[in-house]
Amino acid sequence: MFDFGMGELLIIGLVALIVVGPKDLPVLFRRVGNFVGKARAMGREFSTAMNQAAAQSGMDDVTNTLKTAANPMKGAADALAEHARAAANFDPDSETGKLAAKRAEDAKKIHDATAKRQAEKRAAEAAEAAEKAQAEAKAAQEAVDALKAEPAKPADNKDA
């Protein structure tokens, strides 16, 4: 609608600064911002009202029909997705519902068993790492004890 560049905005700002004055300029900008916000809100409200009116009058069906005619592949894919969603909503008391519940229960059992095995594996790895660290600490302590037990050797003096 309005196509202002940086130069035009700078000129408008300078004119506003001269006309309004530096003391009242923030108040002016705040009021302009409030006005623009209210105008946008009114525009959104109008657009929402028009969309609701179109939906109530059946224009959405006409629009969808025209879009389907313009792009038949997308229309077919949308119809297939809609039928798949409808097929997924089945009666839980039917055979399909019972089978789906059993599959969900089996999947949960598999998930739980896998999680348990993973936890056991991690615990075993942690125990193995702890044993390894303990063995290394024992070897280091033995090395320290061996160094303490050896008598100190006098240094060879080659200069004397």
Cα–Cα distance for residue pair 102/92, rounded to 1 Å: 11
- pLDDT tens, position by position, 107-136: 999 999 999 999 999 999 999 999 999 999
Is residue 70 located within the same domain as residue 23?
yes
Residue 152 lies in a domain: no
- pLDDT tens, position by position, 95-111: 877 888 899 999 999 99
- pLDDT tens, position by position, 25-65: 889 889 989 999 999 999 999 999 988 887 787 777 777 77
* Number of domains present in the structure of the chain: 2
**Burial class (CB within 10 angstroms; exposed 0-12, middle 13-18, buried 19+) of 68:** middle
Instruction: Quote the longest CA-to-CA distance of the chain.
Output: 115
Band of pLDDT at residue 157, cut at 50, 70 and 90? low
Residue 91 lies in a domain: no
Please state which of the ranges 39-53, 60-74, 137-151 shows the lowest mean pLDDT: 60-74
Range of the domain at 120: 97-147
Residue 20 lies in a domain: yes
Residue 54 lies in a domain: yes
Residue 1 pLDDT: 52
Cα–Cα distance for residue pair 133/128, rounded to 1 Å: 9
Residue 91 contacts residue 97 (beta carbons within 8 Å) = yes
Is residue 50 located within the same domain as residue 120?
no
Q: Which of 25, 49, 82 is the last residue of a domain?
A: 82
Residue 95 pLDDT: 81
Residue 34 lies in a domain: yes
Is residue 75 located within the same domain as residue 102?
no
